[in-house]
Amino acid sequence: MQQPVPENLKISPFMAAFVVVAMQIGIGVLGYQRLIAKDAGYDAWISVIIGGATIHAIIWMMYKICETVDGDVLTANIYVFGKAIGKSINTFFILYFTMTCVTVLAGLIEVLRTWMFLNLNPLLFGSIYLLLGIYIVNGGFRTVVGIAFFGLAVPAYLLLSFGFAIRYGDFTNLLPILDHTPVQLLKSAYSMTLTFLGFGILLFFYPFIKNPGKSKKWVHLGVVTTTFIYAALAVISFAYFPPSLLEKSIWATLEMWKIVRLPFIERFEYLGLANWALIILPNVVISLWVASRVAKQTFNVAQRKVVWLIALVVLIVVQMLNSREKMNLFFDIQGKVGFVMAYFYTPFLFILLLIKQKVKTK
């Protein structure tokens, strides 16, 4: 059993949804359409719904795990595997969330350098961005959640900008519906789950929720909202892009912003990217918070100090990813590890926890 979190450090059940959604909406939303269309074509919007539906079962297991041990996944690992093995597994989480932070920051820098500032210095920008992240993490978990809320609420108006793409879209591109096999749809759903990853954060901040049972409906509603946004954006993208053009569109979401014309701004994609830096910030901050908190719980070190070390590692690795090939390899590894953690390790831990509980009862 871990030490209880003081009430003044906890968040309301409603805010738990913003933490989960903030981690799900990241750099992947800028170009996931091309990836999911590789296997299922323009039926891939169905795969988005399938992928979103599977998340609810995993979240149900996550709540059961945390409720059983009355704590987070760190407590569950030690309870199931013992202190030595449990701490070894917990140490792996530090590495994974450090990788997640690297993926998000490297992806943001690449987009900014490609679309806005060709001569952007990755070291300078990454340093400033991580310093901001450290400042927020040192403010405590409630501050982290506040950034997650504003990172979603403030740029929410960007959703309206896709109405311009609807105006020029040809929705007959989506016909005929269900023109692909179930296997193809499932392969596309797998590609989509790599974009959906982030909901596993629930396993780590569960002890910080007031009345965790009341947060269940909000977290599930948050996942429904994320699924709807991704599915709707996929449909709009498929209507706007012919298949031959979508295959060449690395950042389809950004390309749809190029047609937006407003009286007070000519290049709307610049405004969209400026806002995207705010949307991505919770991804970086939450990843830093989890990695540093796991280090604190596992090795009994000060979180305010270890977060600087983690940020330094992130900055060094980002500098090493200086080519598209290296980034693709790193992103692919991080995505597959995240998929295994969510869809294999979580059910595995849940089953072991049930077995141990029954054995202990007998």
Tell me if 22 sits within 8 A of 205, measured CB to CB: no
pLDDT in tens, 122-146: 999 999 999 999 999 999 999 999 9
Check pLDDT > 60 for residue 223.
yes
Which residue, among 153, 138, 119, 129, has the nearest Cα to 22 in the 3D structure? 153
Phi, psi angles (nearest 5°) of residue 106: -65, -40
pLDDT in tens, 34-74: 999 999 989 999 999 999 999 999 999 999 999 999 889 99
Check pLDDT > 80 for residue 198.
yes
pTM: 0.93
pLDDT in tens, 147-157: 999 999 888 88
pLDDT class for 249, splitting at 50, 70, 90?
Answer: confident
Q: Which residue has the tokens 């091309």?
A: 34
pLDDT at 324: 81
Check pLDDT > 90 for residue 237.
yes
DSSP 108-167: HHHHHHHHT-TT--HHHHHHHHHHHHHHHHHT-HHHHHHHHHHHHHGGGGGGGGGHHHHH
Which residue, among 201, 299, 207, 152, has the nearest Cα to 9 in the 3D structure? 207
Query: What residues form DSSP beta bridges with 262?
Result: 265
Structure tokens at 11: 């968040």
Check pLDDT > 70 for residue 362.
no
pLDDT at 138: 94
Q: Worst-scoring range by mean pLDDT, 67-76, 265-274, 307-316?
A: 265-274
Q: What Cα–Cα distance (Å) separates residue 36 from each residue in 191, 200, 231, 327? A: 6, 22, 11, 19
Q: Which residue has the tokens 């290296």?
A: 326
Looking at domain 7-356, which CATH architecture does it have? Up-down Bundle (1.20)
Check pLDDT > 70 for residue 2.
no
Check pLDDT > 80 for residue 264.
no
Reduced to 3 states (helix: H, G, I; strand: E, B; else coil), residue 11 is strand
Number of Cβ within 10 Å of residue 75's Cβ equals 21
Check pLDDT > 90 for residue 287.
yes
For residue 276, the one-letter residue type is: W
pLDDT class for 226, splitting at 50, 70, 90?
Answer: very high
pLDDT in tens, 19-37: 999 999 988 888 899 999 9
pLDDT in tens, 58-115: 999 999 999 999 889 999 999 999 999 999 999 999 999 999 999 999 999 998 888 8
pLDDT class for 160, splitting at 50, 70, 90?
Answer: confident
What mean pLDDT do residues 290-295 have? 95
Query: What residues form DSSP beta bridges with 265?
Result: 262
The overall average pLDDT reported for the chain is 90
pLDDT class for 275, splitting at 50, 70, 90?
Answer: confident
DSSP 76-119: HHHHHH-HHHHHHHHHHHHHHHHHHHHHHHHHHHHHHHHHT-TT
Helices and strands in the chain, H and E counts: 17, 0
Number of Cβ within 10 Å of residue 44's Cβ equals 32
